[in-house]
Amino acid sequence: MERATEEILKQRLSSQGLERVKNIPNPRLHDFLARFLELLNPDRVYVSIGTPEDLEYIRNKALENGEERKLAIPGHTIHFDNYGDQGRDKKNTGILVPKGVDLGPSIETKDRDSALLDIQKIMKGIMVGKGAYVCFYCLGPTNSAFSIPCVQITDSSYVAHSENILYRQGYNEFLRQGPDTRFFKFVHSQGELDERKTSKNLDKRRIYIDLEEDIVYSVNTQYGGNTIGLKKLAMRLAIYHASQEGWLTEHMLVMGVHGPENRVTYFTGAFPSLCGKTSTAMLEGETILGDDIAYLRKKNGLVYAVNVEQGMFGIIQGINSKDDPIQWKALHSPGEVIFSNVLVTEEGKVHWIGKDGEVPPRGENHSGEWWIGKTDTNGKEIPCSHPNARFTLSLSSLDNVDPRLHDPEGVVIGGIVYGGRDSDTSCPVEESFDWEHGIITKGAILESETTAATLGQVGVREWNPMSNLDFLSIPVGRYIQINLDFGKGLKNPPRIFAVNYFLKNRNGQYLNEKNDKKVWYKWMELRVHGEVDAIETPTGRIPKYEDLKVLFKRILNKDYSREEYNEQFMVRIPEHLSKIERVKTIFESKVKDTPPALFEALEAQRKRLLEYREKYGDYISPDQLISR
């Protein structure tokens, strides 16, 4: 350790903290800590290496300083974010790039030089009078080819507490990987707090990702999507490195679907927020490895995946005892759970949009004191909880956690699923013709309606390739090409599917019930193993009625009619053609270096649609295709 660095750390750290840091033989880590502790200038620093005592200390501090409060159920706490700090801040989130680097108009970037001056000015001395935490984590399982060590500096007990739940402790991973290891760095300050202990200076909210130094900066914000740096912010760093090293970082769940004779087939799935991702990962009868972010690597001609996390930062809206029994049980059992931006009653009970039972008449929520009928400054009624209200818990508290959650080898992937909000075009489940067709027509041209998980207008249909557009740190065209190339050399590539839980009829009624997805995944599991046939359409392969009828009866004890089937799986030619034109325009105008294969695949699909329309008309029932 250089003398200047050592002197700074001696001044800033306790004797125990200094010993813990010096035990890691990585001079770049020492320099990073010295540099930013000087900039932030906290009054005191607690270095956590993840011992039970460390974890307990941080939990207690979150209660002592008011960032969290106890609830009625032991272990449960409530945290509130500022009323204007309830979602990912796209406007003030950016990839830092040097002059002359262009990632394309779809990716928010900031000039690196000016952004670093901006963030350093805002952060200079921001922790005076406060305590800071230095915490060590690992993205992916420890002792694995997937492992990425991380270090976090934050002045928020809530952020540190959340990350202790969500991520594996990484101090030993720093020791294992030695002095030359690459590691990710996170610097966060919630800034000045108001009387509710929420971030006050939202006009100075900044979330910057510096690819050059592998540093994530986050300031004047508490909302987890902006501050839990190892989550979506770290995705940008990981995507950048994965693009150079031949693996993938994806916005995907990982789950085990249980087939005949105790067989488990692992699937990944990419969905934008509030599109059924967590409910899919939590399907009753299946097992969950993760609900949000996956790393994928190739080994011996197979695709392996791990969950980057060990916990869940889930959207709570709509969770109820009937549709979500496993989550419901965890959210009502003693244990470590952080609720954010839900309604809390005087008795310490919580309520949220879509929860069982009557809405309490009064309480406290994201808007402060709340009562039924309370309106905002625009006269709009404020719901009992924010639509993007969350819960944080460990996957180990769920009855359906997969036993291979921490397997350092990962799990072999049999299927990849893409899904979004689509009211009028795609059928409930469809298989692609092959890897290239799937990556392009199921993943790269994915569209979905916006939700409350991001700040801005709700209900606008947006293009979101692989459900990963918000988190890319490389040009979109390059990202798609990397996904296409990933399929090369695979012995038995995972089958690629699309699902759509939000298809409606002409009267605006949903054509799927919430739990119908149980059937779609059982069908996909059988397709992976070649145990059921499919019907070919111009856009992919769909299930046969006879197979779905059996699955609906066995899994849901539901009589599934041919009328339902024909309406759900109708090929909607005009809507598909419109979608192709929409996304072609986007790729032609907004995407640099679009792979030629994408335009070729879209043109081939357009021609198939036109051929089918000439023969069958605009709307084709599966029965017509069977009889051809």
Q: What would the pLDDT profile of 563-577 be if each residue is shown by its tens digit?
A: 999 999 999 999 999
Q: What would the pLDDT profile of 467-481 be if each residue is shown by its tens digit?
A: 999 899 999 999 999
Residue 544 has pLDDT above 90, yes or no: yes
**CA atoms of 128 and 332, how far apart (whole Å):** 39
Q: What would the pLDDT profile of 404-461 be if each residue is shown by its tens digit?
A: 999 999 999 999 999 999 999 999 999 999 999 999 999 999 998 765 555 556 657 7
Least confident of 54-63, 312-321, 521-530: 312-321
Q: What's the whole-number mean pLDDT along residues 511-536?
A: 96
* Predicted local distance difference test score (pLDDT) of residue 457: 62
Q: What would the pLDDT profile of 162-200 be if each residue is shown by its tens digit?
A: 999 999 999 999 999 999 899 999 999 999 999 999 999
Tokens of 555: 């899994």
**CA atoms of 366 and 87, how far apart (whole Å):** 12
Whether residue 135 lies in the annotated active site = no
Domains of the chain: which residue ranges? 3-245, 248-312+403-626, 313-397
Is the pTM higher than 0.85? The answer reads yes
Tokens of 172: 């030993």
Q: What's the whole-number mean pLDDT along residues 62-74?
A: 98
* Predicted local distance difference test score (pLDDT) of residue 452: 54
Q: What would the pLDDT profile of 26-36 be if each residue is shown by its tens digit?
A: 999 999 999 99
Closest residue by Cα to residue 438 from 352, 497, 362, 351: 497
* Predicted local distance difference test score (pLDDT) of residue 1: 60
Q: Does residue 54 contact residue 314 with C-beta atoms inside 8 Å?
A: no
* Local confidence band at 626 (pLDDT 50, 70, 90 cut-offs): confident
Residue 628 has pLDDT above 60, yes or no: no
Q: What would the pLDDT profile of 241-281 be if each residue is shown by its tens digit?
A: 999 999 999 999 999 999 999 999 999 999 987 788 888 99
Pinpoint the alpha helices (H) of 1-111: 3-12, 15-22, 27-40, 52-64
Q: Does residue 293 contact residue 249 with C-beta atoms inside 8 Å?
A: yes
**CA atoms of 360 and 517, how far apart (whole Å):** 32
How distant, in Å, are the alpha carbons of 26, 40, 45, 126, 138 from that of 37? 17, 5, 9, 11, 22
Q: What is the dihedral of CA 143, 148, 149, 150, to 10 degrees?
A: -150
- On average, the pLDDT of the chain sits at 95
Q: What's the whole-number mean pLDDT along residues 121-126?
A: 98
Q: What's the whole-number mean pLDDT along residues 201-224?
A: 97
* Predicted local distance difference test score (pLDDT) of residue 206: 97
Residue 343 has pLDDT above 90, yes or no: yes
Residue 589 has pLDDT above 60, yes or no: yes
In our burial notation (b when 16+ CB lie closer than 10 A, e otherwise), range 113-123 reads eebbebbeebb
| Architecture label for domain 3-245 | 3-Layer(aba) Sandwich (3.40)
Q: Does domain 313-397 have CATH number 2.170.8.10?
A: yes
* Predicted local distance difference test score (pLDDT) of residue 455: 52
135, 138, 150, 275: which is the annotated catalytic residue? 275
Q: What is the dihedral of CA 532, 537, 539, 544, to 10 degrees?
A: -30
Residue 64 has pLDDT above 90, yes or no: yes
Residue 592 has pLDDT above 60, yes or no: yes
* Predicted local distance difference test score (pLDDT) of residue 256: 98
For the domain made up of 248-312+403-626, the CATH class stated in words is alpha beta
Q: What are phi and psi of 516, to 5 degrees?
A: -60, -25
